[in-house]
Structure 1
Amino acid sequence: MSQQVLKKVLRDKKQRMTAQRELILKIFMESKGRLMSLDDVYMNIRKRKNHKTSKMTVKRGIDLLEELGIIRKVNFEDGTPRYELIEEIENEPKVLFICENCGKAVKLDLDKDKIKSILPYENIEIKDFDLKIYGMCSECK
Protein backbone atom coordinates (compact mmCIF):
# COMPACT_ATOMS: atom_id res chain seq x y z
CA MET A 1 0.00 0.00 0.00
CA SER A 2 1.53 3.27 -1.05
CA GLN A 3 0.59 6.87 -0.41
CA GLN A 4 -0.53 7.15 -4.05
CA VAL A 5 -2.99 4.28 -3.54
CA LEU A 6 -4.30 5.94 -0.36
CA LYS A 7 -4.71 9.25 -2.19
CA LYS A 8 -6.72 7.55 -4.94
CA VAL A 9 -8.93 5.67 -2.45
CA LEU A 10 -9.55 8.87 -0.48
CA ARG A 11 -10.30 10.82 -3.66
CA ASP A 12 -12.77 8.11 -4.77
CA LYS A 13 -14.50 8.37 -1.38
CA LYS A 14 -14.52 12.19 -1.57
CA GLN A 15 -12.05 12.49 1.33
CA ARG A 16 -8.92 14.66 1.55
CA MET A 17 -5.37 13.44 1.99
CA THR A 18 -4.14 15.21 5.10
CA ALA A 19 -0.64 15.24 6.54
CA GLN A 20 -1.91 13.33 9.58
CA ARG A 21 -3.51 10.56 7.48
CA GLU A 22 -0.37 10.28 5.41
CA LEU A 23 1.77 10.05 8.55
CA ILE A 24 -0.49 7.39 10.11
CA LEU A 25 -0.22 5.28 6.95
CA LYS A 26 3.56 5.80 6.89
CA ILE A 27 3.81 4.56 10.49
CA PHE A 28 1.89 1.40 9.59
CA MET A 29 4.07 0.90 6.50
CA GLU A 30 7.23 1.25 8.62
CA SER A 31 5.90 -1.17 11.27
CA LYS A 32 6.97 -4.17 9.14
CA GLY A 33 3.92 -6.25 10.03
CA ARG A 34 3.91 -5.39 13.74
CA LEU A 35 0.46 -4.89 15.17
CA MET A 36 -0.01 -1.45 16.66
CA SER A 37 -2.52 -0.04 19.14
CA LEU A 38 -3.90 3.49 18.99
CA ASP A 39 -1.41 4.43 21.73
CA ASP A 40 1.49 2.91 19.74
CA VAL A 41 0.63 5.02 16.68
CA TYR A 42 0.04 8.14 18.78
CA MET A 43 3.37 7.78 20.65
CA ASN A 44 5.17 7.17 17.36
CA ILE A 45 3.73 10.43 16.01
CA ARG A 46 4.64 12.31 19.20
CA LYS A 47 8.28 11.19 18.87
CA ARG A 48 8.58 12.91 15.51
CA LYS A 49 9.49 16.57 15.38
CA ASN A 50 6.88 19.16 14.44
CA HIS A 51 3.93 16.79 14.82
CA LYS A 52 1.45 17.88 17.44
CA THR A 53 -1.48 15.71 16.39
CA SER A 54 -4.15 14.98 19.00
CA LYS A 55 -5.00 11.43 20.03
CA MET A 56 -8.55 11.94 18.74
CA THR A 57 -7.21 12.89 15.29
CA VAL A 58 -5.10 9.71 15.28
CA LYS A 59 -8.18 7.68 16.31
CA ARG A 60 -10.27 9.20 13.50
CA GLY A 61 -7.43 8.57 11.02
CA ILE A 62 -7.15 4.92 12.10
CA ASP A 63 -10.94 4.51 11.89
CA LEU A 64 -10.94 5.93 8.36
CA LEU A 65 -8.06 3.68 7.23
CA GLU A 66 -9.93 0.70 8.66
CA GLU A 67 -13.17 1.74 6.96
CA LEU A 68 -11.31 2.06 3.65
CA GLY A 69 -9.87 -1.46 4.03
CA ILE A 70 -6.27 -0.29 4.31
CA ILE A 71 -5.74 -1.52 7.87
CA ARG A 72 -7.51 -4.23 9.87
CA LYS A 73 -8.48 -4.31 13.55
CA VAL A 74 -7.37 -7.34 15.58
CA ASN A 75 -9.12 -7.72 18.94
CA PHE A 76 -7.31 -9.23 21.92
CA GLU A 77 -8.47 -10.54 25.25
CA ASP A 78 -6.88 -7.58 27.06
CA GLY A 79 -9.51 -5.32 25.48
CA THR A 80 -7.00 -3.20 23.55
CA PRO A 81 -7.56 -3.47 19.80
CA ARG A 82 -4.49 -3.46 17.62
CA TYR A 83 -4.27 -2.71 13.93
CA GLU A 84 -2.24 -4.05 11.05
CA LEU A 85 -1.64 -2.94 7.50
CA ILE A 86 -3.52 -5.18 5.08
CA GLU A 87 -0.96 -6.62 2.75
CA GLU A 88 -1.43 -7.96 -0.74
CA ILE A 89 -2.00 -11.56 0.41
CA GLU A 90 -5.38 -11.30 2.10
CA ASN A 91 -5.98 -14.92 3.11
CA GLU A 92 -2.63 -15.69 4.67
CA PRO A 93 -2.85 -17.60 7.96
CA LYS A 94 -1.74 -15.74 11.05
CA VAL A 95 0.50 -16.67 13.95
CA LEU A 96 0.83 -14.00 16.63
CA PHE A 97 3.12 -13.81 19.64
CA ILE A 98 1.48 -11.69 22.35
CA CYS A 99 3.39 -10.45 25.39
CA GLU A 100 1.23 -10.98 28.49
CA ASN A 101 2.99 -8.13 30.30
CA CYS A 102 3.09 -5.20 27.83
CA GLY A 103 0.53 -6.44 25.28
CA LYS A 104 2.88 -6.11 22.31
CA ALA A 105 1.81 -8.38 19.45
CA VAL A 106 4.15 -9.53 16.70
CA LYS A 107 3.29 -11.57 13.61
CA LEU A 108 5.45 -14.68 13.26
CA ASP A 109 6.47 -16.10 9.91
CA LEU A 110 4.99 -19.61 10.06
CA ASP A 111 3.39 -21.05 6.96
CA LYS A 112 1.27 -24.17 6.52
CA ASP A 113 4.29 -26.38 5.80
CA LYS A 114 6.07 -25.33 9.01
CA ILE A 115 2.92 -25.90 11.08
CA LYS A 116 2.34 -29.27 9.39
CA SER A 117 5.91 -30.37 10.21
CA ILE A 118 5.37 -29.93 13.98
CA LEU A 119 1.99 -31.68 14.13
CA PRO A 120 2.07 -35.33 15.24
CA TYR A 121 -0.10 -36.42 12.30
CA GLU A 122 0.79 -37.62 8.83
CA ASN A 123 -1.05 -37.05 5.56
CA ILE A 124 -3.19 -34.15 6.75
CA GLU A 125 -4.28 -31.14 4.78
CA ILE A 126 -4.28 -27.76 6.52
CA LYS A 127 -6.73 -25.36 4.92
CA ASP A 128 -6.30 -22.44 7.32
CA PHE A 129 -5.09 -21.63 10.82
CA ASP A 130 -5.08 -18.81 13.33
CA LEU A 131 -2.66 -19.23 16.24
CA LYS A 132 -1.94 -16.99 19.22
CA ILE A 133 1.11 -17.67 21.37
CA TYR A 134 1.22 -15.95 24.76
CA GLY A 135 4.41 -15.31 26.73
CA MET A 136 6.88 -12.60 27.73
CA CYS A 137 8.78 -10.52 25.18
CA SER A 138 12.51 -9.91 25.55
CA GLU A 139 11.97 -6.38 26.93
CA CYS A 140 9.62 -7.57 29.71
CA LYS A 141 11.52 -10.73 30.63
Structure 2
Amino acid sequence: MNDAVIATFSGNRSTYIKEHVMLAALGAVAAVAILMALGNEYPWTGLVGAVAAIGVRGVYVASEQIGQEWTLTEHNLVSPAGVIIPRAEIENVRTIFSAAQVITRSGDKYMIKYQADPGATADTIREARA
Protein backbone atom coordinates (compact mmCIF):
# COMPACT_ATOMS: atom_id res chain seq x y z
CA MET A 1 0.00 0.00 0.00
CA ASN A 2 1.47 3.36 -1.04
CA ASP A 3 1.00 6.31 1.28
CA ALA A 4 0.07 9.64 -0.23
CA VAL A 5 2.87 12.18 0.10
CA ILE A 6 1.93 15.17 2.25
CA ALA A 7 5.24 17.06 2.07
CA THR A 8 8.91 16.70 1.23
CA PHE A 9 11.78 18.46 2.97
CA SER A 10 15.22 18.96 1.48
CA GLY A 11 18.18 21.13 2.38
CA ASN A 12 18.26 24.74 1.20
CA ARG A 13 21.53 25.84 -0.48
CA SER A 14 21.34 29.43 0.79
CA THR A 15 20.76 28.26 4.37
CA TYR A 16 23.63 25.77 4.05
CA ILE A 17 26.02 28.52 2.91
CA LYS A 18 24.90 30.96 5.63
CA GLU A 19 25.39 28.31 8.31
CA HIS A 20 28.89 27.50 7.06
CA VAL A 21 29.86 31.18 6.95
CA MET A 22 28.69 31.48 10.57
CA LEU A 23 30.69 28.37 11.55
CA ALA A 24 33.81 29.72 9.81
CA ALA A 25 33.48 33.05 11.62
CA LEU A 26 33.02 31.42 15.02
CA GLY A 27 35.87 28.99 14.34
CA ALA A 28 38.16 31.82 13.28
CA VAL A 29 37.48 33.82 16.45
CA ALA A 30 38.04 30.75 18.63
CA ALA A 31 41.24 29.73 16.82
CA VAL A 32 42.73 33.23 17.03
CA ALA A 33 41.82 33.49 20.72
CA ILE A 34 43.41 30.12 21.52
CA LEU A 35 46.60 30.95 19.62
CA MET A 36 46.82 34.33 21.37
CA ALA A 37 46.31 32.69 24.77
CA LEU A 38 49.09 30.22 23.98
CA GLY A 39 51.42 33.08 23.11
CA ASN A 40 51.72 32.21 19.42
CA GLU A 41 53.31 35.11 17.57
CA TYR A 42 51.17 34.43 14.47
CA PRO A 43 47.59 34.19 15.79
CA TRP A 44 46.19 35.26 12.40
CA THR A 45 46.96 31.74 11.14
CA GLY A 46 44.00 30.55 13.22
CA LEU A 47 41.71 32.66 11.07
CA VAL A 48 43.16 31.24 7.85
CA GLY A 49 43.02 27.68 9.15
CA ALA A 50 39.44 27.87 10.41
CA VAL A 51 38.09 29.49 7.25
CA ALA A 52 39.97 27.01 5.05
CA ALA A 53 38.82 23.99 7.06
CA ILE A 54 35.14 24.98 7.14
CA GLY A 55 35.27 26.06 3.48
CA VAL A 56 36.76 22.77 2.29
CA ARG A 57 34.30 20.76 4.39
CA GLY A 58 31.40 22.87 3.14
CA VAL A 59 32.27 22.36 -0.52
CA TYR A 60 33.03 18.66 -0.05
CA VAL A 61 29.72 17.68 1.57
CA ALA A 62 27.38 20.28 0.07
CA SER A 63 25.77 18.07 -2.57
CA GLU A 64 25.27 15.25 -0.07
CA GLN A 65 23.72 17.44 2.62
CA ILE A 66 21.56 19.59 0.37
CA GLY A 67 20.40 16.60 -1.67
CA GLN A 68 18.91 14.75 1.29
CA GLU A 69 15.14 14.57 1.03
CA TRP A 70 12.73 13.63 3.81
CA THR A 71 9.21 12.55 2.88
CA LEU A 72 6.13 12.97 5.06
CA THR A 73 3.32 10.61 4.06
CA GLU A 74 -0.13 9.79 5.44
CA HIS A 75 1.35 7.32 7.92
CA ASN A 76 5.13 7.83 8.08
CA LEU A 77 8.09 10.18 7.97
CA VAL A 78 10.76 8.62 5.75
CA SER A 79 14.42 9.64 6.04
CA PRO A 80 16.80 9.95 3.09
CA ALA A 81 18.37 6.66 4.22
CA GLY A 82 14.98 4.93 4.04
CA VAL A 83 14.36 4.83 7.80
CA ILE A 84 10.61 4.75 8.32
CA ILE A 85 9.31 6.64 11.34
CA PRO A 86 5.61 6.01 11.93
CA ARG A 87 3.84 9.34 12.52
CA ALA A 88 2.18 7.86 15.61
CA GLU A 89 5.68 7.36 17.10
CA ILE A 90 6.66 11.03 16.81
CA GLU A 91 6.72 12.48 20.32
CA ASN A 92 8.01 15.98 19.59
CA VAL A 93 9.41 18.20 16.85
CA ARG A 94 11.57 21.21 17.67
CA THR A 95 13.91 23.56 15.86
CA ILE A 96 17.64 23.87 16.38
CA PHE A 97 19.24 26.61 14.27
CA SER A 98 18.35 25.67 10.66
CA ALA A 99 17.17 22.15 11.47
CA ALA A 100 13.97 20.51 12.59
CA GLN A 101 14.64 17.77 15.15
CA VAL A 102 12.18 14.87 15.27
CA ILE A 103 12.05 12.96 18.55
CA THR A 104 10.29 9.59 18.75
CA ARG A 105 8.51 8.05 21.74
CA SER A 106 11.48 5.68 22.16
CA GLY A 107 13.88 8.65 22.33
CA ASP A 108 15.41 8.38 18.86
CA LYS A 109 16.32 11.76 17.38
CA TYR A 110 16.51 12.73 13.72
CA MET A 111 17.68 16.02 12.21
CA ILE A 112 16.13 17.48 9.08
CA LYS A 113 18.99 19.86 8.32
CA TYR A 114 19.43 23.15 6.45
CA GLN A 115 15.78 24.12 6.23
CA ALA A 116 15.02 27.60 4.89
CA ASP A 117 12.19 27.80 7.44
CA PRO A 118 12.76 25.16 10.14
CA GLY A 119 9.72 26.40 12.06
CA ALA A 120 7.44 25.70 9.10
CA THR A 121 9.01 22.25 8.67
CA ALA A 122 8.40 21.47 12.35
CA ASP A 123 4.85 22.84 12.18
CA THR A 124 4.03 20.70 9.12
CA ILE A 125 5.20 17.55 10.88
CA ARG A 126 3.40 18.49 14.13
CA GLU A 127 0.14 19.17 12.28
CA ALA A 128 0.37 15.88 10.41
CA ARG A 129 1.04 14.06 13.67
CA ALA A 130 -2.18 15.31 15.28
Same-fold call, TM cutoff 0.5 = no
Q: If the length of structure 1 is used for normalisation, what is the TM-score?
A: 0.28
Q: Tell me which structure has the larger Cα radius of gyration.
A: 2
Q: If the length of structure 2 is used for normalisation, what is the TM-score?
A: 0.29
Greater RCO between the two (CA within 8 Å, min separation 6)? Answer: 2
Higher helix share: 2
